[in-house]
Amino acid sequence: MTSTSLRADLAVHGVAVDAPVRRRAGAGPSDDGHVLLGGVGAALPIVPTSKYRVRGGRLLLEGADLGLDVAPVARPRFYDLETADGVPYEKIARLHGRDVLATTVVQTCIRYGEDERCRFCAIEESLRQGSTTAVKTPAQLAEVAAAAVRLDGVTQMLMTTGTSAGRDRGARHLARCVAAVTAAVPGLPVQVQLEPPADLAVLTELRDAGAVSIGIHVESMDDDVRRRWMPGKGSVPMAEYRDAWREAVRVFGRNQVSTYLIVGLGEEPDDLVAGAAELIDMGVYPFVVPYRPIAGTLATEVDRATAPPSWLVAEVSSRVGDLLSAAGMRGADQKAGCAACGACSALSTAGG
């Protein structure tokens, strides 16, 4: 098995874990499956029935040792702190992988009504469960980022947002948050993620606030797939995405702009790879990830959608990895964000 197919198989089937690899319940990223696999960050579903098992810090396939060390990412120390007004830091931002601080600055979305919501999205679930707050203030984020860098060696931060009703799609609040964080922790690279804003000038405002890279996530470039899986967001014409990507590349630079492409939404693999090629030509990094059923989403609870076969994830990742490598675009060359982290994708093992 190649490293790309192993990585794809793990992303689809997940791993079963024995104590003490799994930390105590609710204790942070290790429970979400954030591990170091052969020293590299990987976000893997924890699936008790998986054919892969982590035991004694090693990865086993049906009992056979695959020769890879697996270590859980330790619970970060900043999770034990809270703001002066009593909000636990871990409700404001979370550790992803080994050293990425991630936050959703606005945890609500104008598209969360049942007929508009992206069927794979659970943005308001964690809010309902009380594990996060609806709006993170710039001051809170600055405080948490400073602690996460000081106590846990965080090296980059990403800020995403639910979509707001304004023409900026939430960009202005993001810009205020980025400015506060970069003032508190000069030099911490911050990526922002948002829908294409109607007013493209806000992309420059985000860069001027201190953001160094940006994700404008389309998930699929196939309009049928978009309408089916993202009835609200899919109504934004692809032309608006293309305009936003072009302007973002002009403002942030080639390979500092990324988008998600999800394998397993029903798109033809050749179409997905052709879309990735178009993005790469534009200077946009296509972050290829498998669809994963997540509790609380319409896709899981209503549609009973399942993960794609791992051969498909491996094939698409490998073809897109070849295109990225031919173009000299590596996720690791992004200054911040998911492509820089890479834990949710098999692309970095496929040359991207």
Residues lying near ligand SF4 in the complex (CB under 6 A): 43, 96-97, 100, 102, 158, 338, 341, 343-344
Identity of the residue, 33 or 197, whose beta carbon is nearer to ligand SF4 in the bound complex:
33
- DSSP label of 88: B
Q: How far is the CB of 224 from ligand SF4 (least distance, A)?
A: 26
At position 123, the amino acid (one-letter code) is: I
Do residues 97 and 155 lie in contact, with contact meaning Cβ atoms separated by under 8 Å? no
Q: How far is the CB of 223 from ligand SF4 (least distance, A)?
A: 25
Identity of the residue, 96 or 172, whose beta carbon is nearer to ligand SF4 in the bound complex:
96
Q: How far is the CB of 156 from ligand SF4 (least distance, A)?
A: 9
Nearest CA to 101 out of 127, 134, 126, 136 is that of 136
Identity of the residue, 209 or 338, whose beta carbon is nearer to ligand SF4 in the bound complex:
338
List, in order, residues 6 or more apart from 320 with CB less than 8 Å away: 261, 273, 276, 286, 288, 347, 350, 352
Q: How far is the CB of 70 from ligand SF4 (least distance, A)?
A: 16
Identity of the residue, 103 or 168, whose beta carbon is nearer to ligand SF4 in the bound complex:
103
Do residues 55 and 15 lie in contact, with contact meaning Cβ atoms separated by under 8 Å? no
Nearest CA to 120 out of 196, 234, 25, 28 is that of 234
Identity of the residue, 54 or 341, whose beta carbon is nearer to ligand SF4 in the bound complex:
341
Identity of the residue, 45 or 97, whose beta carbon is nearer to ligand SF4 in the bound complex:
97
Q: How far is the CB of 314 from ligand SF4 (least distance, A)?
A: 18
Q: How far is the CB of 173 from ligand SF4 (least distance, A)?
A: 20
List, in order, residues 6 or more apart from 130 with CB less than 8 Å away: none
Identity of the residue, 138 or 215, whose beta carbon is nearer to ligand SF4 in the bound complex:
215
List, in order, residues 6 or more apart from 64 with CB less than 8 Å away: none
Q: Please, what is the Cα angle at 146 between 145 and 148, to 5 degrees? A: 60
Residue 194 CA to residue 203 CA, distance in Å, equals 10
Nearest CA to 91 out of 26, 39, 179 is that of 26
Strands (E), 89-221: 94-96, 100-104, 156-160, 190-193, 213-215
Q: How far is the CB of 352 from ligand SF4 (least distance, A)?
A: 13
